[in-house]
Structure 1
Amino acid sequence: MSVTTSPILSARPAKGPLRRALDRFFANVPAVIGLAVITVIVGLSLTYQWWWAYAPNDIDLRAISQGPSATHWMGSDGVGRDVLARLMQGGRVSLLVAVVSMFISMFLGFIVGAVAGFSGRLVDGAAMRLVDLVMTLPPVIFLLVLASIAGTGVVPTIIVISLLSWPVLARMVRARFLELRERDFVVAARGMGASLPHLLIRHGIPNCIDILVVYASLQIAAGILLEAGLSFLGLGIAPPEASWGNMLNAARSTRVLENYPWQWMFPGAMLVISVLAINFIGDGLRDAFDPRSDLN
């Protein structure tokens, strides 16, 4: 008589959705490369004053428009300021503007979309007409008008970018909340008298985390480009404060483009590399949080 013994399997705990998303993200090679690149850029921008001898506005009259050398690794600009120091300071400013404007626009978009999705037809209709109004305005003209009203500087640039960016997120959050409000746990919470803030914090944010994370990453890249565009037009960060946009603005003359390419090549390359890296991260996060990825 044969005795069958069932093997004792060492059961491993199942991975949660966040762990599976992180595994998918780190399996995405372009996303990991983008994360490494942007980490290096942020690290260098935040610490350059500890390892570099020059400040962004230090003027060396002996090195006006000097090419890359052992003293000035990336050369100097038309008034003798070190390009590397201004590039690192410009990274600080550009990333600060992009990150802060992302948080503000994410807050506005989430609140408007959540209130519209969880409220009645009247509030939903009014909120969506506001979103439609903002989205139908020509973005370039709207951007220039806001910038001319708000003025130049870090804070006005953050305000302008924030006011331009929130409607897209509001629509995505509203679509998610229209589906969410029909779920049994939300209906039960409402039946028990849960307030709107409780519904947003307890059920709304956890069920929108994928939208918010992907939006945040892509909005940072959009914010860097918008800041660079405004500064290039003279409506964003005003000199002598450094940003990648006004560095390109200072080097826009034909004489500089032809004879001193390091004055525009390095800020232009940094702008392109940073935006590409953040877009790779955003694409990786979008794929990582896509529930259909578990079916592959």
Structure 2
Amino acid sequence: MTKHYLSNNEQKYLNTFMKKIPERCTEAVINLKKTKRASFEEVYFLVRIMTIFDYISLVEEKGNTTNDIRFKTFYKGHAVYIRPHYKVENINPKSQDWSIDFVLTIHRIINNKEIFIDSLGIEYDGHPSHFTPDRLLSDRKRDIQILIKEHVNLLRITKDIVTESFIEIEKAIFSFFDRKISIIDEVQSKTLSYINSLEDIPTLTTCQLCNGIGRLNFQDCPICHNMGSTPENQKIDLSEFEIFTCGKCGGITSNDCEFCAGEGKVTREIALSMT
């Protein structure tokens, strides 16, 4: 048990919310305070976030020392993971890695496989040092680099917002998920519609005019338009394409033209050699 790492007041403060999540999850969250990786305010905020979901479980990633704790839940049939103190490699190799207070990732389940959709990082800015001009600038620069490196969308929360407008935080998280789900639904729907439409494409056959080359007389084939094939049931009257205006000299009679020899016209057989 790790509850003794909380003061009596802290324990009392959390009791209402702790009853809504499994004990293993509670122990794991409080353990963040034990290891001095999180303040009580951050622990409290994380517990509050966990309670907005109907179900939560602990997932331990053995052998992973950077992002080793995950909590799993579901939202509208999608897997959601909550990762406390999510580590991101600093762009300065001599500096400490960055840490996001926690990151929520949403995944679509297809054929029993979880397909990553997007992630939302949440930073709890409770300490006054977060609001100095230098720190504000530093945090914004860091947020940009995290978005570039990890593609994590960041939401910054203050103590006042948690205390006075927690319901708005809940709405923001679910709105983010709903939007991502909507985009994926649309992509899947249009992809399936396109795949189904392929069944209506007629059987293709080699173009009778250009013999599948796609070009003749130094131009795209007027029948298949450089595709090299035509619908099997397309009727082509080859008698209309026995003679062509020379594509080399443009029909200007000149003995210098190696293809029409000054005639200005070429046969289909010669036109097929002019690609």
TM-score by length of 1: 0.23
Report which of the two has the higher share of helix: 1
TM-score by length of 2: 0.24
Report which of the two has the higher share of strand: 2
Q: Name which structure has the greater RCO, CA cutoff 8 Å, separation 6+.
A: 1
Larger-Rg structure: 2
